[in-house]
Amino acid sequence: MDNKLLPFWLSVNVDRNPYAIAIVDGNKRITYSEMNDSVSRLAGWLISRGVQQGDRVVLLLPNSSEFVISFFAIARIGAVAVPLNVQYKEQELAAYLKDSNPKVVIALGHLIPLIKGIILLINNKACDIVSVHNERNESFSYTQVVRENSPFSGTVNVLSENDLLCQYSSGSTGIPKRIMRTHLNLVSEASNFNSTVKLANSDKILCVVPLFHAHGLGNCMLASVYAGATLVILEGFNRQGVLKTIQDERITVFPGVPFIFSILADMPLREVMAFPFLRLCFSAGAALPRETFQKFLEKYGVPIRQLYGSTETGSVSINLNKDVSETADSVGLPMKNVEVEIFGEKGEILQPNEIGNIGIKSSAMMKGYSGLENLNKESFRDGYFFPLDLGKKDEGGNIYLRGRKTSFINTGGNKVDPSEIEILLGKHSKVKEVVVVGVKSYYGEDVIKAVVVPNDRCDEREIVEFCKGKIADFKIPRIVEFRKEIPKNPLGKVLKKYLH
């Protein structure tokens, strides 16, 4: 098997150490041999249901062993995994399921009635549904599939340039952009990351960030399997649960987001635990406040490293500086085999400490947005991808982020396009005008705020209730402010700086 294919790295670890623990998921401890067996059985079932190379399989699952096994089964047969957020509501799921046109959906049991309704609505008669937990009669049982089907022993002619992952990223119009990445892209990302941070099969990686997100998928799942390490899965964030798991499981690597680290940094000293085995903490998804870095370091004795990446590129850089306190605001140097340059408006490479457009070149990044040729012309030049991030490099090559050219709100690691919420609230009968912005919470994370000009008596509860069920909970405004008018300049442009 080609070493540029993701399943190759699972098979390598099965051959090297079949009884090593691959996944810890609650009370389940799954060896690499057992994981491979479940992957083979699910792969065989997918083929028996007519799933072919290039067909899409949607994963609507929380962090779980079922997510990991399903992803690798999809990879083994040359199909394409489409991981989606389990918090999405009917309207959002309908859009993604229509666009991806899946052959199979693997989802939590309580979501099955909703999914069946959507599948009927979009007229996808060929789609099978597999139920995980709370398994329902109107769908196939995941447990039965991996228990009763024979392991897949055949071969599929999968190439490294074949698509493996389909993810979505919000666009400036509120319309999701489809991002396709290949086997080569994902293997390159895992290889670059592991070579940079020097993961070993003795490492234990805590997975509390969502696996459907690029951060969790790349820096937890792919990194772990590539290294033959142990992936310790938590379905969601609970501060006591995280601390206990780090201690009990002897976690060595802890990927997180600023919100998670800020909660842990603010814990009372009486609840703080010692982590003698923890060697690497890193944060991604948004800038880490210096206060959080300092508090966490003082309480736990481990510095939080900042990592930079995107859905389009995977991990790009990480701050592994020995004197990390001096460069805590930096996202560090590029990963092995990744190039990053800072470009001026005329396309010239800027000098150290000059702020410009970040350009990324890597075999881990996508080739382009599906069906968006004009955007691709803007986003790709001379082999570099331009993610609309602004930044600079210092004399040592360390990268510092300095904002974005767009106004996405980063809440809890989720990128939210404010225009999507503005369009929705604009349909409310009592809303004359609305602008959505991100404001900083006490813990330093972005919180969604809606500034509303009403045309009738209206309160915050009405606005929030109007959003419920139409968009994911993390997109619903946490703050609603009513004003008589929206501040604008003479040309009619909204002055968002007066809305924060």
Angle between helices 90-100 and 112-121 (to 10 degrees): 60
User: Is the pLDDT assigned to residue 134 strictly greater than 80?
Assistant: no
Q: Are strands 314-318 and 304-310 parallel, antiparallel or unpaired?
A: antiparallel
CATH of 237-404 among 3.40.50.12780, 3.40.50.1000, 3.50.50.60, 3.30.420.40 = 3.40.50.12780
CATH homologous superfamily for the domain 409-498: ANL, C-terminal domain (3.30.300.30)
Q: What is d(CA 224, CA 232) in angstroms, rounded to the nearest whole number?
A: 10
Among 383, 486, 466, CA closest to 423: 466
Report whether CATH 3.20.190.10 matches the domain 6-187: no
Q: Give the whole-number percent of the chain exceeding pLDDT 70.
A: 97
**Helix %, strand %, coil % for the chain, to 5?**
30, 25, 40
What per-residue confidence (pLDDT) applies to 136? 66
Six-digit token pair at 26?
Answer: 């609650």
DSSP string, 297-360: HHHHS-PEEEEEEETTTEEEEE---TTTTTTTT--BEEPTT-EEEEE-TTSPBPPTT--EEEEE
Which residues of the chain are in CATH 3.30.300.30 domains?
A: 409-498
Which residues of the chain are in CATH 3.40.50.980 domains?
A: 6-187
Prediction pTM value: 0.87
Angle between helices 6-16 and 65-76 (to 10 degrees): 110
pLDDT category of residue 125 using cuts at 50, 70 and 90: confident
pLDDT category of residue 171 using cuts at 50, 70 and 90: very low
Better pLDDT: 273 or 22: 22
**Buried/exposed 33-62: b ≥16 CB within 10 Å, e otherwise:** ebbbbbbbbbbbbbbebebeeebbbbbbbb
What per-residue confidence (pLDDT) applies to 219? 98
- Give the torsion sign (CA, 189, 195, 201, 206): negative
What sections of 406-459 are H helices per DSSP? 418-425
